Structure 1
Amino acid sequence: MTFDAIDIKIMNALQRDAGQSLETLGADVGLSRNACWRRVKSLEESGAITSRVALVDAKAVGLGLMVFMQVRTHSHDPDWQMQFKRATCTIPGILSVYRMTGDLDYLIRARVPDMDGYDTLYQQLISQVPIADVSASFVMEEIKDSTALPL
């Protein structure tokens, strides 16, 4: 996909504030409301914009502890992978799951209320899929956490 300067401006503006009106967005990027709407729809249809969401403050909703779980497995067969994918996609506190290269097989990013919440999440995961080893690191300070891509 190729994007022109206006497409880039639209995507940057929507990454900052997806709730702004089309009038405001159009004025910011130099388009009329209708032309701006057509561009946004085209970016959505092409898959460049996958969704428009509200970001919720985790601490405000009682999910103040972020944890990164490093997962190692003895099995790499397709059935285990499907079982792991199904388990991680259904546990609400799990936000991101990545299959990794190197010594680590998977990295999970999760949000929980506290250590008891982490233990509950951990127990849910290991009850659904056999895992060789899980270690966890807890975030003490969030220095930068952004969803905006550098366009």
Structure 2
Amino acid sequence: MDKFDRAILDALQADASLPIAELAERIGLTATPCWRRVQRLEAQGIIRKRVALLDARKLNLGVTVFVSVRTSHHSADWLKSFHKLVSSVPEVVEFYRMAGQTDYLLKVVVPDIAAYDRVYKRLIQGTDLADVSSSFAMEEIKCTSRLPLDYAD
């Protein structure tokens, strides 16, 4: 990964809709080599996909909940079933398996507390959980999809 690859990634993280000609001009390449680099970065899986970032508040999704889940089940079958359950809930926008006191951490976006309660009930009815703890975000201070590129090899 060289400076051009990093520049491509930086520019696409800011605006994935850039036409190749404009992207190439911004980073100091002509269109064809720039296009080849983008294709290579996609083929390598470094660029996983290009998406539109939506404003949750404008879509009536003003409540963000971080849900800590602990379980006493750690079998492969339970894990598969739990992953399937959580993945089927559209309000869960992020889902992590954790180390430490919490087994799983979910980020949930909903319009209000009542909607979160429906998500909560769906989670606890769908599987056996030892503990579910919810924390409601009061204010979003930083939220970005941009990854730091200083560490890329």
Say yes or no: TM over 0.5.
yes
Q: Deviations over 1:32-87 (max 9, x none)?
A: 12221111111000111000000000000111101000001011111111111001
3-state SS of paired residue (1:119): helix
Poorly superposed stretches of 4+, deviation over 2 Å? none
Question: In 1, distance between residues paired with 2:113 and 2:76?
Answer: 32
Question: In 1, distance between residues paired with 2:47 and 2:81?
Answer: 29
Instruction: Tell me the TM-score normalized by structure 1.
Output: 0.96
Q: Deviations over 1:98-141 (max 9, x none)?
A: 11111111111110111011001111111211111101000000
Question: In 2, distance between residues paired with 1:122 and 1:135?
Answer: 10
Which one of the candidate residues 135, 138, 141 is aligned to 1:140?
138
Question: In 1, distance between residues paired with 2:3 and 2:59?
Answer: 38
Q: Name structure 2 gaps, 5 residues minimum.
A: none
3-state SS of paired residue (2:57): coil
Which one of the candidate residues 61, 69, 72 is aligned to 2:70?
72
Question: In 2, distance between residues paired with 1:110 and 1:42?
Answer: 34
Question: In 2, distance between residues paired with 1:34 and 1:121?
Answer: 48
What displacement does 1:20 show? 1.2
Residue 101 (structure 1) aligns with: 99
Question: In 2, distance between residues paired with 1:46 and 1:117?
Answer: 39
Instruction: Tell me the TM-score normalized by structure 2.
Output: 0.95
| Root mean square deviation, CA, Å | 0.7
3-state SS of paired residue (2:135): strand
Question: In 2, distance between residues paired with 1:32 and 1:127?
Answer: 56
Residue 124 (structure 2) aligns with: 126
Q: Name structure 1 gaps, 5 residues minimum.
A: none
